[in-house]
Structure 1
């Protein structure tokens, strides 16, 4: 027997003569109703969404649709031929030679006067044979159950969607309640942080600007030198103390700018601010030979 072939037109609920726009409209309605995201965890909706997508992918492509129609027609014709072959009764068997050789018994001639009239009590076979018996379509219990299930499918779909929507809303409300409670508990800490920030801003506005301290040493004095200089050496290392020449492992490469505020002999007190990270800065004494204006 011929196998079964999926009827994509029946899946989308459109006739075979449907236009591209009708196919797209039917697909949008069905995929919106059976989309698995709206019915998470329900295999019924997942299976139908796959069938709907498969049917739309074939019928929306003109070439695939033409090939599908051709295969479907051939499949339908093959199924029809198979059905006709199985439904055709076998030819009658030929009579045996023995029965053919025997002569048929002679029939008596028809004598109307010899026929007996039917009695009143005799059953009316002729009238019964003349009236055809009414055809009673037998329906099995399984067909009745399937019909009842099909009638209940729309109600089941609506109830399932309402249940999933209510479950989603319940989870959302449950997640929002702890967040609101935590926000209420954090209000004292937030208020304290705001007070500290406001106090720091007021102090910075009212505090007098710091003045550079000018210290004198045995080998000379520290003078003010407020300007911006450029590093000319490949690596300009910072010194903690220009008198004792205590060198650190921190340095600034050539091309970077530093702001100098004081000078002691051949050393400038420089501050480097990183452009990439404003929070990073390095300060110390740099040899004047490594800088240029």
Structure 2
């Protein structure tokens, strides 16, 4: 996760003029900036809604997960994450007491109502924008971060594909996706993935030989999913227009619980494979697959209900 540079975080908190503006429901326009108290705890920036979860800005923040803040004379694109950890909220309470000691509003800001609407605010980078589905041109100033991440993943993938037992494979895959892979999940090499940090794997997942994931837009594989050999899942596309073709358009792919993807199938961006569904071998999936169905063909269409 991204953290604030120490000097920047200090400046934001000490200025005490933070205005928060989450995206509106269209995901493109910003809401009206709202002045709000802010505190820093362990390198992160936190805010709370005075009116708790009834606050309109809080509801927008947790719904859209992104927006911007204005503070210390600058404007920053940010991501939002609700905070439910009680011990962390206790530390945030202490930070409020220290910073706002003597304020008549302090008790309200450490009340259960406000605690329930605690939000972590983090600087938003190119990976956050991609995960949110924003088109990103190749000349974006942050694109070198993507190349750095790809280089890291190439090195780890080489070790994964040279591993000699499933536990070692699982270990390297966990490093690639940056989360622990459950011991019930099995992957047979070779396995190919371009970045990894936007892939999430559930429990008791099976991925057979020679599968390929492009995950900058996000790939979620839920529990009990079976993925046969030579399956390709891509969450990335490009505009058709020649002058825009080098812009990456990320769109998440979700494979829901207990789905089965047949050998050689291709899953394209912005697709959800419904629970219990089957994608036949060689199918090219270009649109959502309803739960409890079998799809086949190019492009894939429903051929049977389960």
Give the shorter-chain TM-score range: under 0.3
Relative to its length, the structure with more helix (as a share) is 1
Max Rg structure: 1
- TM-score using structure 2 length: 0.17
